[in-house]
Amino acid sequence: MPLRRPRIVVTRKLPDVIETRMMELFNARLNLDDHPMSADEIAKAMAEAQVLVPTVTDMIDKKMIAAAGPDLKLIASFGTGVDHVDLDAAKARGITVTNTPGVLTEDTADMTMALLLAAARRLGEGERLVREGAWTGWSPTSMLGTRVGGKRLGIVGMGRIGSALARRARAFGMSIHYHNRRRLHPDVEAEVEATYWESLDQMLAHMDIVSINCPRTPATYHLLSARRLKLLRPHAFIVNTARGNVIDEAAMVQRLMAREIAGAGLDVYEHEPSITPQLLTLDNVVLSPHIGSATLEGRIAMGEKVIVNIKSFVDGHNPPDRVLSTMF
C-alpha cells in the first residue's frame, strides 16, 4: 500500500480516543452518528476505501467483496469474531483480514458470571417486581432461587473466555466441567480442577448450569440442537454470551416455556437484534443486549489493536492479528 495515510472507512462510531488517533494517522472517514450502515453503504465504502474497519454486525459477503474497489487491501475488523466476513472471497481478491482477539476475555467472562448468577437467583424477575410496585415485602418462601456453590458448571468451549469463566466459577465453589475440541493441558485443568468430557451429550445430561463459550463456526451451528436440549435436566440453566445460533433458539424457548429447563441468561440471540417474542414474556429468562464485551476499557483496547493492524499493514509488515494474510 503506497500511501502513508491510507483512506479508511469506519462503519460505526468508536471511542473518541480511538477516532482521534485514527484521524491523526490515517485519512479516516468516521460514522459520527453511529447509524448501522446499510449493505449499499458498506459496498460504496468498499469501492472507495483502501482499508475498511467494520464491526461484527456488518455482513460482508462474497458478492460485496467481488464488487470491492481495486484499492481495498485490508479489512481490519473491530471485533474478535470474523464469521461476518467471507474469508475465502477475501483471500481470492487478495484482501487481508484482521481482528482484535484477546482483549475481551475478562469482560466477557465477567458478564457470563453475572448472567449465571442472575438466572440462578432470579434477579431479572425480582428487579421487575420492585419496579412494577408489586413487591409486598420479605417472605421466607418468596423469590426462592438456586444456590450456585456446589453446582456443576459445564463449559462448552474452553478457550480464553471459558477458562476465565472457570476461574471465576471455581471461586464461587462450583464444580468445573468442560467439553472442547481438544483437551486442555493437565496443568490448566488442575488450576481450576476441571473435568473433561469427550462427549458433549454425556456432559449436558449431568450439568446443573451450561455456559456457551465457543465461537460461531459451521461446526457449532445449533450445537445445542433440539435433541441435545432434551438431555438437560429440568433444574438446569443455560447461559450464552457467545453467539446466538450455537443454540437452536426455537427449541430452547419451547423447553423454557414448558419448564423443562429451569432458566436461562442470554446476551446473544439467533436472529439479533430481533428476539423471539416468547423470550420477552418468560420470567425464568434474564436478557441483556449483547453487552458481554461492552466496557470502555475493552472497546479502547479493541480500537488500539485495529490501529496497530492498519499501521503494520501500511508499513509493509504482517499485521499481528491477521486472520488470513495476502501480503504482497
Q: Is the pLDDT of residue 244 over 80?
A: yes
- Helices then strands, each counted (H, E), the chain: 12, 13
Neighbours of 265 (CB within 10 A): 27
Mean pLDDT, residues 156-160: 95
Per-residue pLDDT reduced to its tens digit, 30-76: 999 999 999 999 999 999 999 999 998 999 999 999 999 999 999 99
Cβ atoms of 260 and 234 within 8 Å: the answer is: yes
Do the domains spanning 7-103+295-324 and 105-287 agree at the CATH topology level? yes
Mean pLDDT, residues 148-153: 98
Cβ atoms of 238 and 210 within 8 Å: the answer is: yes
Q: Are strands 322-324 and 96-98 parallel, antiparallel or unpaired?
A: antiparallel
Lowest mean pLDDT among 34-43, 79-88, 251-260: 79-88
Would you list the domain boundaries of the chain? 7-103+295-324, 105-287
Q: Is the pLDDT of residue 326 over 90?
A: no
Q: Is the pLDDT of residue 1 over 70?
A: no
Q: Tell me, what's the pLDDT at 217?
A: 86
Options 3.40.50.970, 3.40.50.300, 3.40.50.720, 3.10.20.30; CATH for 7-103+295-324 is 3.40.50.720
pLDDT band per the 50, 70, 90 thresholds, residue 324: low
Helices (H), the chain: 16-25, 39-48, 62-66, 87-92, 105-120, 123-131, 160-171, 186-192, 200-204, 226-229, 249-257, 296-314
Q: Is the pLDDT of residue 318 over 80?
A: yes
Residue indicated by cell numbers 446476551:
267
User: Structurally, what CATH architecture does the domain formed by 105-287 represent?
Assistant: 3-Layer(aba) Sandwich (3.40)
Mean pLDDT, residues 68-92: 94
Q: Is the pLDDT of residue 4 over 80?
A: no
pLDDT band per the 50, 70, 90 thresholds, residue 29: very high
pLDDT band per the 50, 70, 90 thresholds, residue 3: low
Backbone angles phi, psi at 218, to 5 degrees: -55, -30
Mean pLDDT, residues 260-287: 96
Residue indicated by cell numbers 467481488:
66
The whole-chain average pLDDT of the chain stands at: 95
pLDDT band per the 50, 70, 90 thresholds, residue 328: very low
Q: Tell me, what's the pLDDT at 70?
A: 95
Question: What amino acid positions are annotated as catalytic residues?
Answer: 243, 272, 290
- SS3 label, residue 99: coil
Q: Is the pLDDT of residue 277 over 70?
A: yes
Mean pLDDT, residues 154-178: 97
